[in-house]
Amino acid sequence: MTPHINAKENAFAKTVLMPGDPLRAKFIAENYLENVSLVTDVRNMYGYTGEYKGKKISVMGSGMGIPSISIYAYELFNFYGVENIIRVGSCGAYSDKLDLYDIVLAQGACTNSSFQENYHIPGTFSAIADFDLLLKAYNNAKDLGIEPHVGNVLSSDVFYQDDVNAWKKWQSMDVLAVEMESYALYTIAANLGKKALTILTVSDSLVTQKETTAEERQNSFTKMMEIALNL
């Protein structure tokens, strides 16, 4: 047990899928996995372990933002022997090449957070996905007939930005989209010698101001899950 996870030792598989929403974790467990059991429920941040195509796999909510995912990722990697965390989330498009529901594989993550100060690095740490996971996810997507966008994302500490044009600076650096967690996930994985990847579905666009509905998001989510579950 850890301060935020009340699962028994060995309760998690080596690979954990992490949506932001714990009810999404419940949905994945109930709809995609077999022989599933709930392994943790502290603060209703549900975590489940089951099987997909006969292979043990876990799914757990991360919550929103860097502080939240950093707690769960650290505890899973450090205390539960987890080797791979695959974040499955949503993002806001910064690039005009992205349409709603497109899939983004976050090759790297930039941030406006001070998270890296925790590590006292004498410079700027570039947070990147594990290459093997990235390559496999890319190939899985292609096999499913999906053309994923691969590149940089911004892991922002702020959802409601006071300067409504600030995102254009990131766009000018070819940052594809914004979300709020991957920089911490990738940094923690690097620091602990573990593997991580973020797969995102575009839920809104800063370029076109278009947004998806919750119901539409649910449907588009299937593509992302198939890429992630077959890693």
Return the residue of 83, 102, 130, 179 that touches ligand ADE, per CB under 6 A: 179
- Cα–Cα dist 215/218, whole Å: 5
Return the residue of 57, 105, 175, 178 that touches ligand ADE, per CB under 6 A: 178
| Contact status, residue 14 vs residue 82, Cβ threshold 8 Å | yes
User: At CA 124, angle to CA 122 and CA 125, rounded to 5?
Assistant: 105
Q: Is 143 helix (H, G, I), strand (E, B) or coil?
A: helix
Return the residue of 1, 31, 144, 159 that touches ligand ADE, per CB under 6 A: 159
- Cα–Cα dist 208/211, whole Å: 9
Q: Is 38 helix (H, G, I), strand (E, B) or coil?
A: strand
Query: Does residue 155 bind ligand ADE (CB under 6 A)?
Result: no
Residue with the shortest CB distance to ligand ADE: 92
Contact map string, positions 185 to 204, toward ligand ADE, x by CB under 6 A: ------------------xx
- For residues 195-205, one letter each, b for 16 or more C-beta atoms within 10 angstroms of the residue's C-beta and e for the rest, the string is bbbbbbbbbbb
Residue 204, annotated ligand binder? yes
Q: Which of 81, 71, 79 is nearest to 42 (CA)?
A: 71
Helices (H), 20-93: 22-32, 66-79
CB of 170 to ligand ADE, least distance (A): 11
In the bound state with ligand ADE, the residue whose beta carbon lies nearer, of 80 and 115, is 115
| Contact status, residue 2 vs residue 45, Cβ threshold 8 Å | no
In the bound state with ligand ADE, the residue whose beta carbon lies nearer, of 143 and 174, is 174
Question: Is 204 marked active-site?
Answer: yes
CB of 72 to ligand ADE, least distance (A): 18
Q: Contacts with ligand ADE: how many residues (CB under 6 A)?
A: 10
14 CB contacts (<8 Å, ≥6 apart)? 56, 81, 82, 83, 84
Residue 90, annotated ligand binder? yes
Contact map string, positions 80 to 119, toward ligand ADE, x by CB under 6 A: ----------xxx---------------------------
Residues with catalytic roles: 204
Q: Tell me the binding residues for phosphate.
A: 20, 24, 43, 87-90
Q: Tell me the binding residues for a purine D-ribonucleoside.
A: 4, 179-181, 203-204
Q: Which residues form the interface with ligand ADE (CB under 6 A)?
A: 90-92, 156, 159, 178-180, 203-204
